[in-house]
Structure 1
Amino acid sequence: MVSSNTVELLREEIPVNQQPFTLSPNIKTGLVLVDVVNGFCTVGAGNLAPKQPDERISHMVEESVRLSKAFSERKWPIFAFLDCHQPDQPEPPYPPHCIIGSNEEKLVPDLLWLENDPNATLRQKDCIDGFLGSTEKDGSNVFIDWVKNNEIKQILVAGICTDICVLDFVSSVLSARNRGFLPPLENVIVSSQACATYDLPLHVAKTNKAFISHPQVFGQIEVGFCWNTSFFFNVSLPEFIS
């Protein structure tokens, strides 16, 4: 059990400064969903899924659905990463998860409609970093092509886990942008309300040597530290996004 004193101390020493942000219809924006799949979000769906209803994860899913519907209604581009693995493809230190054919690798029920949405691009990935997972064997990159083909100037990122897959993806995208690999992308916005991480307390992790402790409450604090909070936003939806 993580003590409240520890959490408060971290919040004081590593403050996460959430800034308000309003999407503009005048800037071409794409929505990126990171691993909003059963294996991470649906109760009882797998080793890394919540064992019981989780308020933070449920809220993340609700916000992701709301954003997805708003983008779809306006025919704005959506890119959804789906974590998936072959049975013989381990990803330590995490237990087996999102195995192909298990249904864990599928979008949560409220987002399944994206499979048939003409504005959505779905990409299965077999690694933590979605940017790297978008690379084809011939060296091309599906995500880079999506940005260029849709002339996207900023992306809004939502999903799970804030401190793992979301963090790795955003860090790689920023590096690629700074190296000039992602024109015309300029801004990367992370929605604090539409991101979450999983909870694996120490006493649960001790029951299996393959598990590693991961208190949920630390996730956002870690991300604020790693990203220096410069683009961790509380995205408000203006009147044109209901």
Structure 2
Amino acid sequence: MVFSLQAPREPNGQITRMINESTRLARIFCEKKLPVMAFLDSHDPNKPEEPYPPHCLAGSDESNLVPALKWLEREPNVTIRRKDCFDGFLGSIEDDGRNVFVDWLKNNQIKAILVMGICTDICVMDFVCSTLSARNRGFLAPLKDVVVYSGGCATFDVPLQVARNTKGALAHPQELMHHVGLYMAKQRGAIIANDVSLGKPRSL
């Protein structure tokens, strides 16, 4: 299980569903002691990611797990990776060239990953595309399947009228861009899942 999940600035139905589904599945994975990797955006304020405004700056609340998933920090099967770019694959590269995500895959002999998080059409899609490209080149054996759970992903919403009145902003219709991200991931070879069930964890 791989996900990138941080606190939304405002309540939102799609994002709430993503958090609920991520929490549900994370509990199941941890109950079964399956490996989990969580990417957290932790951006350097001196390295802007245009065209987006500053967000998830290192040390800010936005750069941490949402409250519903804070418990993951105490789980022995969970690897948390703070990244300073959209793409978790590239954000896993260390100064010495080692890739933390690739090491995690190989050390756990993972054949399939389940991907969830925010934003579907940015961080999730970039990570999925990089991972699939590396898999296709034979760099990630024994990884075979990259599964993106649609209900475990979400993106943000910038209505047209807001974009028109905000300098430098682009309209970003939430539902459309969510599906664009899923479509592009599928086009690159990902499996898109509408539902995920691995059994029920014991009550905590």
Cα distance between partner residues in 2 of 1:241 and 1:82: 25
From the CA coordinates, give the structure whose radius of gyration is larger. 1
Gaps of 5+ in 1: 1-30, 42-48
Given candidates 38, 44, 53, the residue that maps to 1:95 is 53
Given candidates 143, 146, 152, the residue that maps to 2:110 is 152
Aligned to 2:64: 106
RMSD of aligned Cα (Å): 1.6
Given candidates 191, 198, 201, the residue that maps to 1:231 is 191
Q: Which shows bigger deviation, 61-70 or 80-89? A: 80-89
Cα distance between partner residues in 2 of 1:187 and 1:152: 9
Question: Normalising to structure 2: TM-score of the pair?
Answer: 0.92
- The answer to whether the aligner puts 1:186 opposite 2:144 as a matched pair is yes
Query: AA paired with 1:61?
Result: I
Cα distance between partner residues in 2 of 1:220 and 1:104: 21
Aligned to 1:32: 2
Given candidates 102, 111, 116, the residue that maps to 2:74 is 116
Cα distance between partner residues in 2 of 1:188 and 1:64: 16
Q: Once the two structures are superposed, what CA deviation does each residue of 1:3-43 show, in whole Å capped at 9, x if it has no partner?
A: xxxxxxxxxxxxxxxxxxxxxxxxxxxx0012x112xx2xx
CA contact (8 A) 1:123 1:134 kept: yes
Aligned to 1:203: 161
Cα distance between partner residues in 1 of 2:24 and 2:195: 12
- Of all paired residues, the percent bearing the same amino acid is 52
Q: Once the two structures are superposed, what CA deviation does each residue of 1:69-95 show, in whole Å capped at 9, x if it has no partner?
A: 100011100000001112222111111
With CA pairs under 8 Å and 6+ residues apart, which has the higher RCO, 1 or 2? 1
Query: AA paired with 2:160?
Result: L
CA contact (8 A) 2:158 2:172 kept: yes
State the secondary structure of the residue aligned to 2:106: helix
Cα distance between partner residues in 2 of 1:136 and 1:63: 31
Following superposition, the deviation at residue 202 of structure 1 comes to: 1.8
Following superposition, the deviation at residue 210 of structure 1 comes to: 3.5
Gaps of 5+ in 2: none
Cα distance between partner residues in 1 of 2:197 and 2:40: 25
Aligned to 1:5: none
Q: Which shows bigger deviation, 144-153 or 79-88? A: 79-88
State the secondary structure of the residue aligned to 2:174: coil
Aligned length: 200
Given candidates 105, 129, 137, the residue that maps to 1:171 is 129
Query: AA paired with 1:32?
Result: V
Cα distance between partner residues in 1 of 2:170 and 2:54: 13
Given candidates 26, 43, 48, the residue that maps to 1:85 is 43
State the secondary structure of the residue aligned to 1:217: helix
Query: AA paired with 2:175?
Result: V
Given candidates 171, 176, 185, the residue that maps to 1:213 is 171
CA contact (8 A) 2:27 2:201 kept: no
CA contact (8 A) 1:94 1:212 kept: no
CA contact (8 A) 1:95 1:211 kept: no
Following superposition, the deviation at residue 217 of structure 1 comes to: 1.6
- The answer to whether the aligner puts 1:59 opposite 2:17 as a matched pair is yes
Cα distance between partner residues in 1 of 2:125 and 2:155: 11
State the secondary structure of the residue aligned to 1:170: helix
CA contact (8 A) 2:121 2:182 kept: no
